[in-house]
Amino acid sequence: MKQLFILFAAIILIVLQSCCNTDKAFIEDNVQFAEQQLNNAVNAIEKDGKFPRSIKKDRTVGFVGAYDWTSGFFPGSLWYLYELSGNEQWKQEAQRTTHWLEKIQHFTGNHDIGFMLSCSYGNGFRLTNNPDYQTILINGAESLSTRYDSITKVIRSWDFKGGTKDGHVWQYPVIIDNMMNLELLFLASDFSGNEKYRNIAIQHANTTIKNHFRDDFSTYHVVDYDTISGAIRGRYTHQGLSHESSWARGQAWGLYGYTMCARETGDASFLQQAEHIADYIMHHPNLPADKVPLWDYHAKDTTFYPTWIEKLPPLTEAWRDASAATITCAALFDLSQLSETKGADYYQFAERLLHNLSQHYRSTSNKYFVLEHSVGNLPSNSEVDVPINYADYYYLEALVKFKNLTSSK
Residues recognised as catalytic:
112, 177
Q: What is the distance, to the nearest Å, from the Cα of residue 113 to the centroid of all Cα atoms in its chain?
A: 14
Which of 91, 373 has the CB closer to ligand GLY?
373
d(CA 254, CA 248): 10
Please say whether the beta carbons of 280 and 274 come within 8 A. Answer: no
Pattern of binders to ligand GLY over 370-389, x per CB under 6 A?
------x-------------
CB of 137 to ligand GLY, least distance (A): 20
Residue 249 CB, nearest approach to ligand GLY (Å):
5
Residue 2's alpha-carbon distances to 9, 13, 14, 37, 392, in angstroms, are 11, 17, 18, 53, 51
Q: Which of 76, 116, 112, 128 is nearest to 398 (CA)?
A: 76
Nearest-angstrom CA–CA distance, 119 and 110: 17
Strand pairing of 222-225 and 173-175? antiparallel
Q: Which is nearer to ligand GLY, 286 or 380 (CB)?
A: 380
CB of 12 to ligand GLY, least distance (A): 44
Tell me how far CA of residue 72 lies from CA of 56, 116, 117, 221, 393, in angstroms: 19, 4, 6, 22, 9
Nearest to ligand GLY of 91, 221 (CB atom):
221
Compute the least distance from the CB of residue 128 to ligand GLY, in Å: 27
Which three-class secondary structure state does DSSP give residue 374? Answer: strand
99 or 249: whose CB is closer to ligand GLY?
A: 249
Site string for ligand GLY, 235-274 (x = CB under 6 A): ----x---------x-------------------------
Segment 172 to 211, residues that bind ligand GLY, using CB under 6 A: 177
Residues 6+ apart with CB under 8 A from 150: none
Contact positions with ligand GLY (CB under 6 A) in 69-98: 69
Residues 271-310, one symbol each (x = binds ligand GLY by CB under 6 A, - = not), give: ----------------------------------------
List the helix and strand counts (H, then E) for the chain.
13, 9
Is the CB of 91 or the CB of 238 nearer to ligand GLY?
238
Size of the site for ligand GLY (CB under 6 A): 5
Cβ atoms 144, 155 nearer than 8 A: yes
For the bound state, the minimum distance from the C-beta of residue 195 to ligand GLY, rounded and expressed in Å, comes to: 27
Closest CB to ligand GLY: residue number: 177
The length of the chain in residues reads: 409
Residues that bind ligand GLY (CB under 6 A): 69, 177, 239, 249, 376
